[in-house]
Structure 1
Amino acid sequence: MATPDFVLTLREKIGTAPLWLAGVTAVVVRGDEVLLVRRADTGAWTPVTGIVDPGEDPSDAAVRETLEEADLQVVAERLASIGVTREVVYPNGDRAQYLDHTFVMGYVSGEPSPADGENTEARWFRLDELPPMSDGMLRRLDAALSGEQAARFGTPTR
């Protein structure tokens, strides 16, 4: 599902006014490869991203979103960065801004596939052969792939 039910319920009350939401970016690593998905709405390659449900732990959201979007079983290994995105304005006029939690995810099993319709492709990329991505996504990948144990702050700008 592209938009969680709780967001749709809020939108019924506030229309297109800005929402402040918790988000996750799941950087799934397998050896010298990283999982990327091609977004159906923009065609951009990104790591798996999603919205944290009310009461859900962000690391659990990263695991859930990876299963929903790419059909992979993964485990959260560490928080790589946390930061605020720029405001996003969607084609329907809805506005949102996200507190993004970027996690390094360990691959457990499965073959990547665009499982829920939010993406048109899901596949592994060698770290030295990444497709073009936005600066914000590249910063998230850099934080996740850096090997640093402490999380970076202020990384995610879209």
Structure 2
Amino acid sequence: MPQSEYVTSIRSRIGTDFLLLPGVTAVIRQHDRFLLARHAHSGSWSLIGGAVEPGEEPAEALHREVLEETGARVRIRGIVGAYGGEPMMVTYPNGDRVGYITTAFDCELLGDAVADGEELREIGWFDRDTIHGLDRRNWIDRVIADVARPRA
């Protein structure tokens, strides 16, 4: 999906300078396996998600992002946590620097998912041990570990 009108508007004023954005992350899992996506811009594996648009509820953004990127729908089971900081900072190939503050949602996949071919090169199911061997965004390790932690 191309850059949103909102981000394009900000970028027209600040260029490639650092921009902090709210995001959402879908932790789509079946038992001990997680659905990951290889992203076109980096070639790395990560969880599926994206930015929250102005006026959009985070859960709405999550459903929109998963549908846009995989053609699939999900059922939200709960919130895993909120994440940010250095691990969530990205410099895109065009030089745009972004830091995301993401809300990660525990999700169940409803139907089949296929990589969109634009943002995602491919998707696949992986267990925790296999994930540790992938070229991945390392912040996902914390999110995946938090899914298994008992809630207080």
TM norm structure 2: 0.86
- Runs of 4 or more off by more than 4 Å in structure 1? none
Distance in 2 (CA, whole Å) between partners of 1:115 and 1:91 is: 19
Q: Which segment is superposed worse, 3-12 or 79-88?
A: 79-88
| Letter of the structure 1 residue corresponding to residue 103 of structure 2 | H
- 1:99 matched to 2:92? The reply is no
One-letter amino acid of the structure 1 residue matched with residue 49 of structure 2: T
* 1:116 CA drift (Å): 5.4
Instruction: Map 1:3-152 to 2 at 5 A.
Output: 3-86=3-86, 87-109=89-111, 111-115=112-116, 117-130=118-131, 131-132=133-134, 133-144=136-147, 146-149=148-151
Output the CA distance in 1 between the equivalents of 2:34 and 2:63: 15
The alpha-carbon deviation at position 119 of structure 1 amounts to 0.7
Contact 2:46 2:140 in 1 (8 A): yes
Stretches of structure 2 that go unaligned for 5 or more consecutive residues are none
Tell me, what secondary structure is at the counterpart of 1:138?
A: helix
**Is the 1:112–1:123 contact (alpha carbons within 8 Å) kept by the matching residues of 2?**
no
Shift of 1:70: 1.6
Deviating more after overlay: 28-37 vs 84-93 = 84-93
Gaps in structure 1 of 5+ consecutive residues: 151-158
Contact 2:28 2:106 survives alignment (8 Å)? yes
* 8 Å contact from structure 2 (residues 41, 92) kept in 1: no
Q: Is the 8 A contact 2:79 2:106 kept in 1?
A: yes
Computed over aligned residues only, the root mean square deviation of the Cα atoms, in angstroms, reads 1.8
- Determine if contact 1:25/1:49 at 8 Å carries over to the other structure: yes
Q: Distance in 2 between matches of 1:90 and 1:80?
A: 26
The aligned amino acid for 2:96 is D
Per-residue deviation, residues 47-103 of structure 1 (Å, max 9, x unmatched): 102001111111221121111112221022111111213232222221221111111
What's the TM-score, normalizing by structure 1?
Answer: 0.83
Q: Which has the higher helix share?
A: 2
Deviation at 1:123, TM superposition (A): 2.1
Tell me the distance in 1 between the aligned counterparts of 2:18 and 2:3.
15
Distance in 2, Cα, partners of 1:18 & 1:128? 34
Alpha carbons of structure 1 residues 92 and 105: separation in structure 2 relative to 1, 3 Å: same
Q: Which amino acid aligns with 1:118?
A: E
